[in-house]
Chains A and B, each alone.
Chain A
Amino acid sequence: VYGLVNRAVEDMAREAGGAALWDRLRHAAGVPDEHFLAMRPYDDELTFRLVDAAAGELGLPVDEVLRRFGRHWIVYTGQHGYGPLLAMGGRDLPQFLANLDAMHSRISLSMPELRPPSFRVTELGPDRFRVVYRSHRLGLGPMVQGLLEGLGELFATPVEVTPVVEPDTVHDTFEVRHG
């Protein structure tokens, strides 16, 4: 995970509980250096420890923390200069999701250690589509749900995201109903 993501976690913690909460999370996760560099790759494990620590500190399930982080990630990146690039992702939510793979592919050029996920969008109707999410990182489905909800906010489109249970699969599937 690039430091960009960890900084988003830090930003969310500071927003939720100030510097005190962030210090507690750092100590609980055993993170000595609080100055994450955006372009430096960090161990995935560090990020997962931060998420676990946040769950412990906030008294929330890990999935809920991931979901909130997914929503925050969209807002955070929008606030920190990624807005134009996000806006170029598409004219509407389906188009944006369809372009996500291409966007990650281009980002990989400047972040060679990036291992981006993959999104496949299938239109189910005028206001419904299916999103299949694949990643070498497991267990981040709740975060994707939060991402989808955050994108609904970004495009000012009411969305209803429903995880589709598909036993024995390594991907996550969501049905999205939108405005």
Chain B
Amino acid sequence: VLVLPGAVGGPLRLRGEFFLDSPTATGYFLGSVWVEGAEQLVAAGLTLDDFAAHDAVLDRLFAAQADRLARDDAARMDALLEAAERTRQQLQAAEQALARELDAVPDLLLRVAADGTVLTVRASASTELSMPAADHVGRDAFTAFPGMADGLRAAMAGAGSDCPVCTFEFDEELDGALRHFEARVACTDVGDLLLLVRDVTEQRVLAGRLRTQASCDALTGLPNRSVFTDRVAVALAAPEAPDASRACVLFLDLDDFKQVNDVLGHAAGDALLVDAAERMRSCLRPDDLLARLGGDEFAVLLAGVGAVEGTAAAARLRESLAQPFPATADRPAVVTGASIGVAAAVDGDTERSLLSHADVAMYAAKAAGKGCFRVFEEGMRDRLLARISAEMDLRAALEREEVFLQYQPVVHAPTGEVVGAEALVRWNHPVRGLVPPNDFIPVAEASGLIVPLGSWVLHEACRAAVSWPAQPGREALGISVNVSARQLVHGDLAADVRRALQATGLEAGRLTLEVTETALSSTGDAVLDCLTAVRALGVRISLDDFGTGYSSLTHLRRFPIDEIKIDRSFVEELGDPRQARIAEGVLALAAVLEVDVVAEGVERSEQAEALAAIGCRLMQGWLYGRPGTGEQLQRAGQHATRPGPVSQAGPPAGHARALRSAVGRTA
């Protein structure tokens, strides 16, 4: 390189070869300007005009410029490729992330071409398909998924310009089971359909269950009150057919169901409700609506019928429910019954008023002694209110000590000797005066007041009996106290008796508890346990009203009975030879069982003689004395009671304490 430092614009560098001519000792430099860039030429003040047309220097300069441009292009290409690679990697990462997210989605993702060809299928692990997902690709979607054919066709038809997202549901059979699906459809930019298919079978089942729970009683599966009320409203809104009523409603309440629950437990109670519901269903037409309103309350809607048909249905239901419920795996045998209210729709009735009428009628049936039905009639509500008022009165009477006891003597007929008495409760109302027992005992039974009332009677009777001194040469008078079914199942009767005996000092053997056959029939082991416990105290048990209920030898065998009281209805009809033979048979049976017999309701001497003739010696009734005070009873006990001893062979009843009994509790 030869550098000429004195060149214009700065040093000029020349590139070439240097030769030495030895002979002449002369050096030659063959080369040209070494131009690295046009700047050097410009700096030297050179222009194109200073070069020959094909000067290599200029060619090199322009080639260098082109080279720079090419290098710049290459650099750009590298940058673009790098950017594209980064974008590709980002896309790949995004695709992988999306794939992971899609894997977590339990849905089936389908891409279907406009002609119905399945383009892609993505099924998660939990998505059920009839074949591997990949096998669907390329198939006709209408064939591959026949269940969604209609929905898919509609979606394709609606795939217009704006192509909104639409949904449809369909059913598909998979592995023999029908499944429900929901599909969401969206259009892609290229005109394909993207379907997100979700299995909603479980949601459907759950929704159905929730609907059922909202409208049905879980125990019996019957419609609940809400549904029943709605259906009554619909029935009332229906056009009334000529000569036909729009609807009749029955309200049913199982009698003494609470006792079943209390004594046998809620599981047995529930089982009884289910069985009762089934029995009621069998009594009704397919179109009749049976509902459980709650507890032991049921209701029936008879659409398009009136009171006549309603009464007939009530009779069928009453009869059916009165039949004993045989023992099942879930509960022992139970005897119950139903009180039924019937209300037929009249003009102006609303569902509320109609249900209210049926309710009132049902309470009227309960008040009438249960196990029956009543048809709603005007005034029934007033009577019900009067009954409620009476209940409140009775409750107040207990607090104000307006109730008191009277005692009716039980006589040993052959001698005319008073051997005991039955305690009978009375109510001296401050305004109404003496209230008949038939008016308030049912009220007390229905309201449950019979339990505290019975306890008071027990304690008061024991206290009174203790005050009756024994006559010389005679045993002290016995005292009989009536016990209701509610007291038997209440569970603490034995304890109450023990407290009464301890509090008064009455000898246990002087006390007799009278129990009706009905009370024994409607309950189970709890009554047996209760009576056994009472008898263990030394207290006697009398079977009251014998012959009027479900007279059963089982009762006599199973329960610790000391005495039978022949019901007054038999005594009244002793003139009928058939009745007389029944009474005689009872006496013979009692003799075999070694239990005493008391005939109650003896009002005439011929009745006494007829009873004496068949061997009955203990009698109770107006013939021997009306209910009176303790003092009156004692005075009667000092003398042979009128009409004097009836002719009869043999001594008083052999059992030491057989000489006491009583007539019916409301004698």
Contacts and interface: CB of A to CB of B under 8 A. Distances in A.
Interface of A: 3-4, 35, 37-40, 81-82, 84-85, 87-91, 95, 99, 102-103, 106-107, 109-111
Dominant SS among interface residues on chain A: helix
Contact of A111 (B38, B46, B66): B66
Contact of B48 (A35, A88, A110): A88
Interface string B29-69: 00000000111011000111100010000110111011111
A39 B68 CA distance: 10
28 contacts: A35-B80, A38-B69, A38-B72, A38-B73, A39-B66, A39-B70, A40-B73, A81-B65, A84-B38, A84-B41, A88-B41, A88-B42, A88-B46, A88-B48, A90-B47, A90-B49, A95-B47, A95-B49, A102-B48, A103-B48, A106-B59, A107-B62, A109-B62, A109-B63, A110-B62, A110-B65, A110-B66, A111-B66
B99 interface: no
Contacts of A39: 66, 69-70, 73
Given A81-B68, A90-B48, A99-B47, A35 B76 contact: yes
Contacts of A91: 47
Contacts of A88: 38, 41-42, 46-48, 61
B61 A85 contact: yes
Interface string B153-171: 0000000000000000000
Contact of A84 (B37, B48, B72): B37
Given A81-B68, A84-B37, A107-B62, A37 B49 contact: no
B62 A85 contact: yes
B77 interface: yes
A29 B642 CA distance: 136
Contacts of B42: 84, 87-88
Contact of A87 (B38, B53, B77): B38
Nearest to B53: A102
Contacts of B46: 88
Contacts of A90: 47-49
A109 B69 CA distance: 14
A3 B69 CA distance: 10
Contacts of B47: 88-91, 95, 99
A37 to B, nearest CB: 4
Nearest to B62: A106
A90 B46 CA distance: 9
B48 A89 contact: yes
Contacts of A81: 65, 68
A111 B66 CA distance: 8
B527 to A, nearest CB: 98
Nearest to B70: A39
A103 B59 CA distance: 10
Given A37-B73, A38-B72, A39-B70, A85 B49 contact: no
A129 to B, nearest CB: 16
Contacts of B48: 88-90, 99, 102-103
A42 B76 CA distance: 17
Contacts of A107: 62, 65-66
A89 B61 CA distance: 13
Contacts of B59: 106, 109
A110 B61 CA distance: 11
Contacts of B69: 4, 38-39
B640 to A, nearest CB: 132
Contacts of B61: 85, 88
Contacts of B49: 90, 95, 99
A40 B74 CA distance: 11
A144 to B, nearest CB: 20
- Closest 9 CB pairs between A and B? A110-B66, A84-B38, A37-B73, A38-B69, A99-B48, A106-B62, A87-B42, A84-B39, A39-B70
Nearest to A107: B62
A5 B46 CA distance: 27
Contacts of A95: 47, 49
Given A37-B73, A88-B47, A106-B62, 9 more contacts: A38-B72, A81-B68, A84-B41, A88-B42, A89-B48, A90-B47, A90-B49, A110-B66, A110-B67
B658 to A, nearest CB: 121
Given A39-B70, A99-B47, A106-B58, A85 B76 contact: no
Contacts of A84: 37-39, 41-42
Interface in B629-652: none
A8 to B, nearest CB: 13
Contacts of A4: 69
Given A89-B48, A99-B49, A37 B76 contact: yes
A82 B63 contact: no
